[in-house]
Structure 1
Amino acid sequence: MTRPARVVVVGDVITDVVAVLSGPLAVGSDTSAGITVGGGGQAANTAAWVAAQGVDVTLVAAVGDDDAGRDRVTELERAGVECAIDRIEGAATGTVIVLATNAERTMVSQRGANLRLSAEHVDRALAAVPDAGHLHLSAYTLLDAGSRGAGLRALAAARERGLTTSVDAASAAPLRRVGAAVFLSWVRDIDLLLVNADEATALAGGLDPAAQGRVLSASARRVVVKNGAAGAVWVDRTAAVSVAPARRVAVVDVTGAGDAFAAGLLTAWLAGATPTAALDRASDLGALAVCSVGGRPQP
């Protein structure tokens, strides 16, 4: 396999406040938890995991001109991510409160400066990385109306520059709000679409994962459906299907597991791996991510 060209990741930077609950949430009362504060955001997490694989990566995003934004950028730079970050005056860096149990997490989000990511900033950032070979977009950028222009411009500019493209579908609830037909029109003819089970159902209906992948491959050239403990399925337009089982590990926190999975999949596929080998690498990183708290690689 060859070393991939630079990956450009476009999307969100977030401060994650992760509470790993000791038991079921006691609504209206107290629940003990282990609480950590650090870097998050689907795009930022994916970029950090890509960097951890030894692949050059640039993150294009927006933060507030505040201490949280400066901290998030510093963390990413220390992780080996080149940051093309727009600092937005008068906006706060986004924050997410994550309530995590062993198998699931619930997020309460304030998107903050992420809503102010602009098409102009995306264009400038892409012009500054002539060695880029692939663009990966967090669909939060498309699903948030404020940043939608930046997300659409990122995909268009990538095509103009001859880059391959991928999109992580991000979250089922906002997908349902915008509607499957609209979202799929935004991502038409991308090279790779990543969806989890809930997102696949929102976009393709209640079919089995391989059938969902075949439906979605009418829009994206390749589709990966992540099905939790049941593993993952790769479908492309030739109707070829590859399946990889999930790894059996002790789950601590699932925050960022999908972002690690995406990084493993992309870096392996871009290096020339077969779909099965790319899924295996993705599953390895996803399993590694759930063994610790937070969405980033451990130092």
Structure 2
Amino acid sequence: MTGRALPGRVLVVGDIVTDVLAAHPAPLAAGADTAARIRVTGGGSAANTAAWLVAEGVPVELVGVAGDDAAGEERLVELSRTGVDCARVRRAPGAATGCVVVLVTGDERTMLSDRGANALLRPDDVDAPVRDPDVIHVHVSAYVLLDPVTRAAGRHALTTARELGRTTSVGAASAVALRAVPDFNDLVRGVDLLLCNADEARALLRRPASGGDSLEALAAAVSAHVRHAVVTSGRAGAAWATGGATAARAAGTAGDVVDATGAGDAFAAGVLAGFVAGVDPPTALRTGTERGAAAVTRLGARPPGTAAGSGPDRGATPPR
């Protein structure tokens, strides 16, 4: 929890999906059966971050696109139940809500992704929400910027927020996808806070994936493009850099990994909660590492108690 009352709310822009998680301790048996624990729950980097922010006591509004289908209904019900304001989520007739199949083996995850309705996000979806005077900070999931179809919406959100004097942040999403977009640093240039893991930082810097750079060195290099950069690496902890110099370092938290899905989103929410409340970088980093460590101890990408179908309000009607 931030422990401080905020003068407004955080706007989170990005994907809303259904996660189909399959945790299989043994390797996949091609052409045969493989025993697994399977769970269907809410996902999407932006939706996950929004839910974890609410768990930190931060008022949050989510902007995105869901299909006008049963999956979209359930995703918005569970998000609304946690306290995420989904009034600005557009329901797209005839479109399917995004879905990701996540194959989990220990620390490793393999994802099969269908962005579905998320690919329909437009600049006019974000314009009015960003201009709302109650918004003090705008956070954009990198998936919006990585997809050429939705990139204009992400850029409009960041540009408009800066013009209005809101602070901004971007959560990097995928090292593989980042390497495929050579101008990504230009897309986020001037952002107040960029959050990424070590692999994503190396992708942003065009360094080898197996490089031996320290977290401090990676964060310092990434901060050349933005005001503040935060780089995390699970048990190795996290580093915060400003203007090319290390501002804070946090140790990692040891523990058994059940499922790393959403750990980066939980970490980002912990750091963001501190950032928007004006706490110092070391405190914000510690909160982020603690939330990331908590996220990996269970199946699913959302805070405890927010799984699909849980709670007394399963039949509630979400905003449309």
Q: Which has the higher helix share?
A: 1
Cα deviation digits, residues 26-49 of structure 1 (max 9, x gap): 233221111011110000000000
Q: Which residue of 1 aligns with 2:257?
A: 251
| Partner of residue 125, structure 1 | 129
1:101 Cα offset (Å): 1.7
Mapped contact 1:257–1:286 kept (Cα < 8 A): yes
Structure 1 segments unaligned to the other structure (5+ residues): none
Q: RMSD of the TM alignment (CA)?
A: 1.3
Does the Cα contact within 8 Å between 2:25 and 2:106 map onto a contact in 1?
no
User: Is there any run of 5+ residues in structure 2 with no aligned partner, and where?
Assistant: 306-320
1:221 aligns with 2:227: yes
For 1:215, the aligned partner's letter is A
Distance (Å, rounded) in 1 between the aligned partners of 2:37 and 2:85: 31
In structure 2, how many angstroms separate the alpha carbons of the residues matched to 1:24 and 1:242? 39
Partner of 1:8: 11
Measure how far apart 1:125 and its partner are.
2.3
**What percent identity do the matched residue pairs reach?**
52
Look up the match of 2:99. Answer: 95
Structure 2: which amino acid aligns with 1:7? V
For 1:99-130, what per-residue CA distance to the aligned partner results, in whole angstroms no more than 9, with x for missing partners? 11221211110011111001001012223x32
Q: Displacement, 1:238?
A: 6.0
Runs (4+) of structure 1 exceeding 4 A deviation are none
Alpha-carbon distance in structure 2 between the residues aligned to 1:145 and 1:210? 31
Deviations along 1:173-229, one digit per CA (max 9) or x if unpaired, are 1111111xx100010011110111111111112333222222211111110111122
CA distance in 2, matches of 1:217, 1:102: 31
Q: Which residue of 2 aligns with 1:69?
A: 72
Larger deviation, residues 196-205 vs 20-29? 20-29
TM-aligned CA deviation for residue 54 of structure 1: 1.3
Asked if 2 retains the 8 angstrom alpha-carbon contact of 1:115 and 1:147, the reply is: yes
Report the AA paired with residue 134 of structure 1: H
Alignment match, 1:282: 288
1:264 is matched with which residue?
Answer: 270
Q: CA deviation at 1:61?
A: 0.4
SS at match of 1:145: coil
Alignment partner, residue 297 of structure 2: 291
- Correspondences of 1:231-250 after superposition (within 5 Å): 231-237=237-243, 239-250=245-256
Given the alignment of the two structures, is residue 153 of structure 1 paired with residue 156 of structure 2, yes or no? yes
Q: Secondary structure at the match of 2:245?
A: coil
The alpha carbon displacement at 1:138 in A equals 0.2
What secondary structure, in the 3-state scheme, does the structure 1 residue paired with 2:303 have?
Answer: coil
Letter of the 1:168 partner, please give it: G
1:85 to 84, 89, 95: 89
User: Residue type of the partner of 2:191?
Assistant: I
| Alignment pair present for 1:188 and 2:194 | no
In the alignment, is the contact (CA less than 8 A) between 1:115 and 1:145 conserved in 2?
no
SS at match of 1:98: strand
* Aligned-residue offset at 1:22: 2.5
